[in-house]
Structure 1
Amino acid sequence: MTPAWLRPLVRAAREGRVSTPGRAVRNGGGQAAVLMALSGDARALTRPGDASVLLTHRAPTMRSHAGQVAFPGGRIDPGDADPVAAALREAWEETGLRSAEVTSLVTLPPTSVRASGSAVYPVLAYRHDPGRTYPASPEETDDVFEASLAELIDPAHRLTVGWRGWRGPAFRSNGYVVWGFTAALLSGLIDAAGWAVPWERDRVVELGEALASSRNNEM
């Protein structure tokens, strides 16, 4: 059962009202899925104080997206029944998250990661029985953490970053800067759920400057 505090977000997702990066998916490109796993008091009627989202930090030695904060996820394999199965498998491989702990709520339409053009299916899910998570594949993911939704929503932790003419939303969490594809999805979820509060969207911080004071270890 979907907790009451998540129902407005699920409804918005099913009605196509969750903003995603919106980049065109290349024909013939790969397919991937990410798991946007939210947790929090199932009895709450409004967003509870313990609400959080599961995030990972990609090892700086990775060939792609090194040092970035991301949702658990990856390529859809031939043996995966659908994007949900792929997202759950990848989450298990990266974080030790057991599929029995998770209820899939809705799969958003595919969007594209700028670097690859692959079709990425964001899978919104609820962790109804959160267990221990950890860097299960440290060569790929060297940190796994629960990002507090209250902290992500706090204007003090939100910023807009810019790089070579591009700009997009970003968040500060656990010493990291969350930006790019992951931050765009998070921002879309927060807006669609009605959780957003006013913040300085028009104040742009140069991406390199933001990353220099973070734990990302990228660029």
Structure 2
Amino acid sequence: MSSATSEPVNAVVPTMLPPFDPRKVPVVGGGTADGLPAVALEQLTAQALRARFAAPPAWAPELRREPRMTGREPAQAAVLVPIVQRPQGPTVLLTERTANLSTHSGQVAFPGGRVDPEDANIAAAALREAWEEVGLSASYIEVLGSLPTYTTVTSFIVTPVVSLVEPGFELTINPYEVAQAFEVPLGWLMDPANHRRHAVPAGDGTQRHWYSMPYQDGAEERFVWGATAGMLRNLYRFLSA
């Protein structure tokens, strides 16, 4: 999100969902046990991605809605899914939220936030947020299309806007919201062997299920989970259909 009054699109409301360390929540499925194939690398090229979004296959998203944990009225939000066209292979640009935020602190997220009345459309909102959060200029971005909405525990109805990003850009991080930006190989994210499914009790007596995708980035683990992992899982379903 990009202003002091805005909230992260996959924030958790502590009063209704007890605090927990997502790294310690048991794994209940996913990974190699699912037997799902990885998306072939030739399907992840810029040309192949353009063709897939130009003529989408019949498919269904796996994840659409998290348990509602707030009385807040639903609000439209947009995130940018930036696929960077690196010579060694495409990557996804992600951010780590700052530790001083009251919610969603330290978590991995896409650039994104609430849709403003001034935004021309959902894609414009995602581009604006990417500029405000990490200084990613729209001049490097080619919007491919959108995935179905994903509704978070805090009633944000999030539209993922998938895009290609030409290399050569320079980022300017907004230190209020973003601690750092980093990239994860798209091929790694599109391999369900790296997708772990978790379950944790929700405030209404049911269970909240979510995915994690822990990526070892040198000595540091990038723990992708929750709404961000859910939208990536839906991207996998779209590209593998």
Shorter-chain TM-score category? 0.7 to 0.9
Q: Distance in 2 between matches of 1:36 and 1:68?
A: 16
Alignment correspondent of 2:22: none
Q: 1:108 to 1:191 in 2, by over 3 A?
A: closer
Match of 2:99 among 60, 74, 81: 60
* Number of the residue aligned with 1:186: 232
Q: 1:36 to 1:94 in 2, by over 3 A?
A: same
Report the 3-state secondary structure (helix = DSSP H, G, I; strand = E; otherwise coil) of the residue aligned with 1:186: helix
Q: Describe the superposition over 1:59-79 as per-residue Cα deviations: whole angstroms up to 9, x where unpaired.
A: 122122222111100111122
Partner of residue 169 from structure 2, selected from 128, 131, 136: 131
- Between the aligned partners of 1:150 and 1:178, the Cα distance in structure 2 is 15
Counterpart for residue 97 of structure 1: 136
Matched, 1:163 2:200: yes
Distance 1:52 1:144, change over 3 A: same
Tell me the TM-score normalised to structure 1 length: 0.73
Q: Distance in 1 between matches of 2:168 and 2:73?
A: 37
Identity of aligned residues (%): 35
1:21 lines up with 2:66 in the alignment: no
Quote the Cα distance in structure 2 between the aligned partners of 1:96 and 1:88. Answer: 10
Between the aligned partners of 1:151 and 1:109, the Cα distance in structure 2 is: 22
Q: Is the CA contact (8 Å cut-off) linking 1:39 and 1:130 kept in structure 2?
A: no
SS of the residue 2:181 aligns to: strand
More contact order relative to length (CA 8 Å, sep ≥ 6): 2
> Partner of 1:82 in structure 2?
121
Between Structure 1 and Structure 2, how many residues are aligned?
A: 185
Q: Which of 184, 187, 199 does residue 150 from structure 1 map onto?
A: 187
State the shift of 1:5 in Å.
2.3
Unaligned runs of 5+ in 2: 1-44, 202-206
Q: Distance in 2 between matches of 1:67 and 1:27?
A: 23
The CA deviation string for residues 26-65 of structure 1, in whole angstroms up to 9 with x for no partner, is: 9952221000111226xxxxxx851111111111221222
In 2: Cα distance, 1:63 partner to 1:27 partner: 17
Q: How far does residue 132 in structure 1 lie from its aligned partner after superposition?
A: 2.3
Residues 27, 111 of structure 1: CA spacing in aligned structure 2 closer, same or farther, 3 A cutoff?
Answer: farther
| Residues 158/109 of structure 1: CA separation in 2 closer, same or farther (3 Å cut) | closer
Measure, in 2, the Cα distance between the counterparts of 1:107 and 1:147.
20
Unaligned runs of 5+ in 1: 42-47, 196-219
Report the TM-score when normalising by structure 2. 0.67
RMSD of aligned residue pairs (Cα, Å): 2.8
Alpha-carbon spacing, 1:27–1:9, altered in 2? closer, same or farther (3 Å): farther
